[in-house]
Structure 1
Amino acid sequence: MLSDAQLQAKLEALIDDNSGQSYGAVWQVIGDEKRLHVTLTLGYPAQQQQTAIEAQIRETLTDDRDLLLDLEHKVESQATQGSIEGLKGVKNIIAVASGKGGVGKSTTTVNLALAMAKEGARVGILDADIYGPSQGMMMGFADGTRPQVREDKYFMPPTAHGVQVMSMAFLTTKDTPVAWRGPMVTGALMQILTQTDWNDLDYLFIDMPPGTGDIQLTLAQKVPVAGSVIVTTPQDIALLDARRGIEMFNKVKIPVLGVVENMSTHICSNCGHHEAIFGDQGGASLAKEYNVNVLGQLPLSLAIREQSDAGQPIVVSAPESDAAGIYQSIARKLGATLAGQQDPQQGKQFVMPTIGMSDD
C-alpha cells in the first residue's frame, strides 16, 4: 500500500493527454485500507474523459484498493488583449476564424461548442457572420425564431442542445439580404454581442466571417478575446489564407490556441480507403511554422455535412461516431491550452496601423 505522499507524487507526475504536460498539484487524495477517494480539479472541462483517466490512475498507482475518482473543473477568466473591459456573463471569448470561406469553419464552431458543453462547460455561440449567418440553421432553430427581449434592451439568447446562441439570423428573415456597408455591420456586431444577456458562460465561441476585414479589426479593438482557433483545409490556397489569419491575430495580440485541419482526408463510403485529396500534412506544417498545436484533423465526411444541414450536428446526433470523438478531443485540448496560456504579449494594447506615403 502506497503512502499518501507517494500517491500524491505519482499522480502529480501523470501526463495530461490534453495539454501534453504533467497534471501537477491539482489532486486531492483521501484513503483508508479499502478505498482511495481521488479528486482531480482541472482548469477546463473533461467529463467525457472520466473513464480514461480512471484507467490511467489505476495503471500508474498499482494499488489494490477500490478507486473513486471525482473529476471536477474550474474555468477561470483568462487574460485578453489590451485593457478592454470584460463582457458581462462571459468568462472567455474564443474566436473561430479562417482566412477564406468554404473550409468548414461554421461546422467546426457548432460542433466544437457542443463538444465543450458535453464536457461540462456552460457554452454560447455568437454568429458574427452578419452577411451570411448559418448558426441558426445548424443548431436546428425553426424559421422565424426570435430572441425574447428584456427591459426593451437586452436579447435573451435562444438555447439549443444546452448552448446559448445569438445570430443575425434571428433578427432577419432567411430571404432578406443584409446589404450594409462596413460601419453598419460592425455596429450590428457590437450590438448583438453587448446587448445579449449571456447567462454565466465559461466559453463564448464567435463564428467569424472569413477574411481579415472590418469585423476582425472591430473584434481586436473592442472585444475582450482570450484566444482564437484557425480552421483550414490542407489545400495550399487555404493554407495561404490561414497564414494571413494567424498573422492578423498575432498583430492584434490575440493568442492563436491551435489549428483545426478540416477535410483532412476523404474516406470512401464503399471501401473505407483514405485519400488526402486536398493535400497532406498542410495543417501540421502551418502549426509548426507558427509554433501552435494542431488541435485535431477531421475527415471530409458526408455525415458531418448532412447532420449540420439538418440542424443536428454530429456531436449530438452521433455521439459515438469517430468524428464526434475527434470534436470532443479538440474541445478538451482547446480548453487545456487556454487554461495554460501564458503569452507575454497578452495585455499589450493593439495600435491601429498608420499608412505613410513618400516619393521613394
Structure 2
Amino acid sequence: MKLFWFRFVIFSVLWILLIMIDSKQVPVSIIIFALSLGIYFLLSIHKLPSMLYISLAIIVFIHGFLLTNNVMLGVLLILYLLIDASFRLKEKQFVSYFVVTMILTLLLFFIRGEATFEIVIMLVFLYYLILIISRMTVDRKEQAEIYDQLRGEYRNLKRMNLTAENNARLEERTKIARDIHDSVGHRLTALIMKLEMLMIQDSNNSFGELKKMANESLEETRHAVKVLQTEEDEGIATIVHLIRKLEAESHVLVQFTMKQGVLSVPMTNDRSVALYRVIQESLTNAMRHAGSREVQVILGKSATGDISFEINNAVLNPPPITYGFGLTNMKRRIDEVKGTLSIYQTDRQFVVTGSIPSEGD
C-alpha cells in the first residue's frame, strides 16, 4: 500500500507541474487532472489495468496537444506511466502498451513541430532503458514464482518424508514388539508351565519362587510390548515431531536448535502440550503479523533441570505489543503448568522466551 501512495504522489506532482508551468487553460487542466486521478485509483482494483493505462496515456496526449505550451512535461508523464506499468502489467500487455506510448510521444513531438534528431534519439534511448527495466521486472517475478513452486515442493517432500519416517518408526516398533512377544514371551510362558509341572511333582518352595519371578518377568515383558505398540504421547521427542510437522504444513522455515540434555528431560503430557502450543502460536504470529518466513526455535535445559525455550523472528517497523487472544492464551497455558513466559520486541526482532518445569518439579 505504501508503494501505491509513493507512485500516486509522483504521478500527482508531475501533473501539478504540468498544469502550473505549461497549461494554457488551468481550470480545464484541473478537471482533466481530477479525471486522471480517478482512473489512476482504479488501477489497484480493476481487472483490466492495461486499458486504464492506455486511457491515461491518451488523456495526457490530448492534454499535451491541446492545452500546453510545451510537450516535454507531458511526454515525461507518459514515460512515468510506462515505467509504472512495467511493474504491474503482464509481459504481453506491457508490450502493447509500450508500442502505444511510443507512438503517442512521437506523434506529440511531430504534430507540435518540436521533433528534432536529438529528441528522437533521446526518446529511443529512454524507451530502451524502460524496456530493460520491464525485462528485469518480469525475470524477477518469474524467479519469485519458481521459488514459491520450489518451496511448495520442498514442503510436500518434507511432509512425505515425515510421514515415511513416522511409518518406518512405527513398523520398527511393531516388529520389535512382535519379536519380543514371540520369543521372550513364549519362552517365559513355557518356563512357567514347566515350573507348574515340577511343583506338582515336587512341592519344593523354590519352584514357587521361581514361578513367581517368571510371572513377574512375563508381566513386565507384556507391558514393554504394549508400550512399544503404542505411540509416544509425552516428552520432548513428541514436541520435536510436532514442530517438524507444523513446519512441513506451514509457510515458514523453522531453524530448530536443541541444546545438550534436552531430550533427557521428562515431561508430562499437559506440559508437552503447553510447550507445543506456545511454539505453534509463535509461528502463527510470525506468519500473520511479522511477514517473516524464518523463525528460530531454541530448546534448552536450565541449571535447575527445567525446559527453557526461545522463539524469535525478524520484524519490520513493529507496532507496540498488544495482548490479544493468542498471547493471552499462551500466557494462560504457561501459568497452568507453573512456568514462566516473557514476550518482548526490539527494533528488528520479536522474542518469546520462558521455561516449563520438568516432570519431577
Question: TM-score band (shorter)?
Answer: under 0.3
Higher strand share: 1
Higher helix share: 2
Q: Select the structure of larger CA radius of gyration.
A: 2
More RCO (CA 8 Å, sep 6+): 1
Instruction: Name the TM-score, length of structure 1 as normaliser.
Output: 0.22
